Structure 1
Amino acid sequence: MSPAEREVLRLRVVAALESGRVEGYRQAAEVFGVSERSVGTWWRAYRREGRDGLATRTGRPGPAELINAADRGTLFTAMADYTPEELLIGGPLWTRQAVVELIRLVVGVDMTEQGVGLWLRRHGFTPQRPARRAYEQQPAAVRAWLDEQYPAIETRAKSEGAAIAWVDQCGLHSDAAPPGRSWAPKGRTPIMRVTGKRLRVNVMSAVASRGALWFTVFTERFTAPVFTAFLDRVASQAGRKVHVVADRHPVHRSNADRVELHLMPGYSPELNPDELLNADLKRNVNASRAHTVDRLAHESRRFLRRRQRQPHIVRGYFRAPHVRYAIM
């Protein structure tokens, strides 16, 4: 292991002891493949001096060029595989300050936050909004879906001359935050007039990779009869058999004639292209300005009808990285 890799290992071992994921030096040594003596030394240094007790002692302050290619690889691997929280140097996100701490502890180089920002951009990093993933998601189930189950569905649909439609539902609330941002002078927050009423409409939609879009907007509860009626409508308008892919909502265990239902892995909404239509809808329909439920439903239908006439945008949903596998 390189010196930088050893520093990351120290941080991981101490973080595991601190969080209780391992109990005692012996278990930590077994899990991480190090000696009990090393675990004890690192733990005592951490208890005595905090994170500084685990820092590299051989480095010196200097510019970003002091970080060689091997150490950069170690730093980037640590950022990809762990959160700052797991390495005892920050919260759940890799902020510039967290990267400053990682560099100082692992390779002994002191950098400013501004310098770290420039250094990260130089090596292909950009600030991004993190994608959400459920703790309960089972990676093995997702891999089986991508490698085995969905390809089998696609093969059957092609042999039957059937369509594949991805279904999801969402709610629009009048008390949701207004979509988007508005430029304004510093210190003068822009104001948007909204309704003080609590209104809601529900939307169920289905999209296909060639640009087809079906939807229904309703105010009643989302129930099995509502879902079944929507699927029947999709099959009727498609004019052929439809393989419907949906999440594991209890209602989705219903079925309808001419429709074959397939359930995605649990807690994996990012695999459903229809989620991108939901996000598009919420960005472009300002529910907070609707004064009545009828008006909110009207605005939702108007937006969805516009998207029906824009199949190139619907096809674009399927080009997002996590759903490209669904292009048929």
Structure 2
Amino acid sequence: RAQTPMAAGPPIGPLTGAPATGGGPGTLVIEPLPGERAARPPRCVGDTVDELALVAYVTGFSNVEKLDGAARLPLACVQLVDAFKEIVERPDGFHLLQHATGELDYRGKRMMPPAKATFLSFGGVPTTATMELTQLRTMTIDTDILLLPSTGTTLARVALSLRLYDVEVNGVPLDVGPNCRTRGPLYSKDPDPARDTRDHVVLTGVLKGPGDGYQLVTGGVLDGTVTIPPFTGCGVGEDLDPLLTAAVSGPGNYIKQVQGAPCSSGNPRPDPEFCTPGHEPVKVPKPER
């Protein structure tokens, strides 16, 4: 696979969880924006008023199916509220049901940190763009754990809109304007038919046994597959919607996200193993392939 000459590091191939099979010449690398190369993680201060508040870092990779490569998702902060817990008895044993809500937090906005992408497209031409994922409504995180033998599933649902800007093709600026974004939210097939509304992403975390897998309070891996809708609002003086749609939009884009162990910032005496004195998470996850 060819390496883009504009990339800062080696090309990233598709993730093994759901390998991309698109026809593009592919390789995509995500780089921090200028000014974002700080030695420490981004600011991520938890709520100290709500006793149910948590705060955590998340990061990961996402396949871009049409480009046959994977994009690194920048380290981001998410504010959480562990809103509800209940133990219920079912025929197979006792289950812990948990419901939480979450908001992305980047400089006070509900969004991921912007990320600069470099990839090969349009017949192998090096192309760069800044990508911005904005949260459209409150994230929900629902967990069902069978207490013995501690196995279960977590479903995280979040509505995200994708915007592209600062696009360059072979080093030449391509003016897509300030409102080049997906026509609607990125979406996944929801395992709950009543909630399969094609307007939100679903990521699944699996607990395989005690300490093995994802739990909200310990972190871990969540993954899923999303569809990127067609683009709209792209271009100044010319309609670039078909160009961006042909290059990026479509189904089968696998996401693998890693959540770090959260800081219980609402606890009057937060655990120093998980919280800094400034109520930020100690655990900073690394993206996994």
Question: Whose strand fraction is larger, Structure 1's or Structure 2's?
Answer: 2
Q: Same fold (TM over 0.5)?
A: no
TM-score between both structures, scaled by the size of structure 2:
0.25
Higher RCO, 1 vs 2 (CA within 8 Å, ≥6 residues apart): 2
Question: Whose helix fraction is larger, Structure 1's or Structure 2's?
Answer: 1
